[in-house]
């Protein structure tokens, strides 16, 4: 029987509790459902001292990161409000670099990506982090190709995830990589997770991402798109609805929402398509038509651009999760 995969999870003062307890729980349950022997878990802090999470939760680690010896299978580094202070601890950052060199794969959750970047582990790589800090990560580390959208990103032997609960999605993907799709679905079902989400899926849906414009004409145009995604929402039609010239409307829309009218329409349509695919009753062609994409190929391109997967693969993945949960 092969030896258990050795996983070291790193937390620190002010870490986000779910950034490390979520992945830890995924691996622990995968080990238990597999009858033991899959994973050997160890939670460490920089010096082994108890730490207090950003929520106030007090945690007693198994030991110090600096005392970890020997080869590792997986290194997981948490994030959270305490990341900024942890970045100033140069010996700790150097320890992470040394641990990564001995690990088969290195992972971060949320703003833990800043610690990997500070250790030089993300240079030249594509990486994810919490959407609210993606811009900062890119500015501070221009050698990193920051992608603000996906739940998680794999670039070679380095995996990075978005914020908080996305760390569980990342851990489920690691379990799938180690033990297969069914093992990951078993863990997701045990955790009562709705679905084992694909890494390319966006960090949040349109209702969460939706930023209502301050001025009524632009806000009304947004609401029109959300109310009927399948309608022909050209820039000219939306501008006419707002009572503005098309060029002025486009500038005002981007200024107030952070995206162009066309990008907003596509985002809303993809979100509606995702909901229809989950319902499972409409064909791909019917979903494309209902959401205003014009052609199936246009729909497929937009869906993959937004969610990192095809409509068919998304539907199949969702159905597989439902069958596993049945």
Point out the residues that are catalytic: 110
Do 161 and 170 form a contact (C-beta atoms < 8 A)?
A: yes
CB neighbour class for 297 (10 Å; exposed up to 12, middle 13-18, buried from 19): exposed
Nearest to 22 by CA among 84, 78, 100, 91: 78
Q: 232: which 2 tokens?
A: 């022909």
Other beta carbons less than 10 A from residue 42's beta carbon:
16
CB neighbour class for 278 (10 Å; exposed up to 12, middle 13-18, buried from 19): middle
In the chain the first and final C-alpha atoms are separated, in Å, by 31
Q: What single-letter DSSP state applies at residue 158?
A: E
Q: 26: which 2 tokens?
A: 């995924």
> Which residue bears the tokens 């991402």?
209
Instruction: Determine if residue 288 is left, alpha or beta; phi over 0 gives left, psi from -120 to 50 gives alpha, anything else beta.
Output: alpha
Nearest to 19 by CA among 134, 111, 147, 116: 111
């Amino acid at each position: 029987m092969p030896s258990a995969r050795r996983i070291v999870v790193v937390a620190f003062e002010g870490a986000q509790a779910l950034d490390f307890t979520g992945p830890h729980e995924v691996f622990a349950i995968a080990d238990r459902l597999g009858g033991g022997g899959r994973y050997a878990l160890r939670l460490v802090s920089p010096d082994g001292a108890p730490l207090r999470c950003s929520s106030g939760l007090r945690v007693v680690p198994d030991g110090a990161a600096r005392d970890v010896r020997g080869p590792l299978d997986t290194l997981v580094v948490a994030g959270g409000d305490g990341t900024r202070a942890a970045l100033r601890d140069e010996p700790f950052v150097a320890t992470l670099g040394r641990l990564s060199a001995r690990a088969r794969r290195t992972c971060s959750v949320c703003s833990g990506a800043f610690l990997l970047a500070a250790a030089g582990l993300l240079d030249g790589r594509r990486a994810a982090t919490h959407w609210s800090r993606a811009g900062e990560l890119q500015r501070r580390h221009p050698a990193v190709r920051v992608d603000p959208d996906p739940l998680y990103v794999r670039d070679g032997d380095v995996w990075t995830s978005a914020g908080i609960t996305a760390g569980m999605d990342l851990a489920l993907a690691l379990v799938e990589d180690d033990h297969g799709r069914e093992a990951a679905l078993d863990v997701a079902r045990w955790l009562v997770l709705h679905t084992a989400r694909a890494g390319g899926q966006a960090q949040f849906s349109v209702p969460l991402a939706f930023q209502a414009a301050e001025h009524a004409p632009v806000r009304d145009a947004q609401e029109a798109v959300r109310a009927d995604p399948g309608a022909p929402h050209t820039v000219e039609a939306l501008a006419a609805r707002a009572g503005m010239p098309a060029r002025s409307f486009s500038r005002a829309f981007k200024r107030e929402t952070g995206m162009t009218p066309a990008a907003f329409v596509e985002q809303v349509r993809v979100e509606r398509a995702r909901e229809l695919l989950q319902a499972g009753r409409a064909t791909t062609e019917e979903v494309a038509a209902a959401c205003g994409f014009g052609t199936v190929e246009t729909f497929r391109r937009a869906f993959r651009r937004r969610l990192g997967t095809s409509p068919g693969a998304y539907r199949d993945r969702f159905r597989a999760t439902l069958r596993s949960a049945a």
